[in-house]
Structures are given as structure tokens and as C-alpha cells.
Amino acid sequence: MYKIVFDSDGLLKARKAAFLDAVSRTYACLLPDEVFQETVVAARNAHPEEAREIEGLIGEGKIVPRRRARSAAADRILRWSTSLGEGECGALRLFYQESADFLVTDDRAFLNLLTRHRIPFLTPAELLVRLRMENGLTPEGAVQAADRLRPFVRRDVYENLRSRLEEMP
């Protein structure tokens, strides 16, 4: 089973598109403390339903929160980056500490850093495609999730996603 680490953007887009539960059944999902603080603790008042859903998945053991991670490799990469938030930094440290397979994000600055350093990542759209390929969602369920993801991604990303999903058996 693949180990994936979420940043806030990736976690919330998967949640808003309603495929986070399917992801958590298919992959070992790790949540850095920094992301937990952003998406659950800070969101309890502003977005209580969102926070409750994520806490529910944590309570069921489907998403595993982790304490603040340490990683010299991540710190070397992050030393020169000033545009990332705490969640992205925590996700990168946890990725290295846990020897995870992928980071899940849709944050442009973070994606640029990951690409530059050849760190494996999945955007929420790519995660949805993988989930469908691994039968984590039915064809109809994947298309519905893509439609729910549509307001949160660029038009070309959505059109490519729909096209890829419709081509799958």
C-alpha cells in the first residue's frame, strides 16, 4: 500500500470533491501536525463540517496524524524557499521522515519546488485518476468526483481529467 502525505491544499480539495474517504481506503494517508492544525484545529469555527469530516477519518484510523517531523534532507531543500507555508514545510519533512511514496498538493509554489528536486507528488486530479485506475472508485463515482473538483482546478486540468476518466474502461 502506498504511503501518501497531504498538504492542506491537497487534503481539502480531495475532501471537497468527496473522494477523501476512498483515498483513505486505498492508501496509507499521513497528515503532518502543521496540516492538522490548519485543516482541523483552526477550521473548527470557520468550517466545522470540514473539520468534523477530517477528524472522523482520523478517529477511524483512515488518516493518521503525525507529530511535527524532522528531516535534514527536507531542511536542506527548504533552506532556500521563502514562499512555502508551514503546512507544505511540514508535509515535506514528514514525506522524508516516513519514506512516503507521494506528496499530495495543488499548491503551485510547492509543486515547483517538488518538480525541481524530483520529489514524487500527485495533484488532486492525478490522485483521482490513480484512484480510478486502482478501482478505488467506480467509473461513475470518479466522474462525479471530477465534477465536484471542477471549481477548484483550472479549466484545462478539469478537461484533461474528464477526458482521461472517460477513456478508462
Q: Over the stretch 77-130, which tens digit does the pLDDT of each residue have?
A: 999 888 899 999 999 999 999 999 999 999 999 999 999 999 999 999 999 999
- Domain, as residue range, for 111: 3-167
* CATH number for the domain that contains residue 115: 3.40.50.1010
Each residue's pLDDT tens digit, 60-79: 999 999 999 999 999 999 99
Is 118 within 8 Å of 103 (Cβ atoms)?
no
Per the prediction, the chain carries an average pLDDT of 95
pTM of the model: 0.92
Q: Can you give the length of the chain in residues?
A: 169
Share of the chain above pLDDT 90, in %: 91
Task: Tell me how far CA of residue 85 lies from CA of 27, 41, 89, 145, in angstroms.
Answer: 25, 16, 6, 27
Number of domains within the chain: 1
What does the pLDDT look like over 34-44, one tens digit per residue?
A: 999 999 998 88
Which triple of cell numbers denotes residue 102?
Answer: 507521494
SS3 state of residue 16? helix
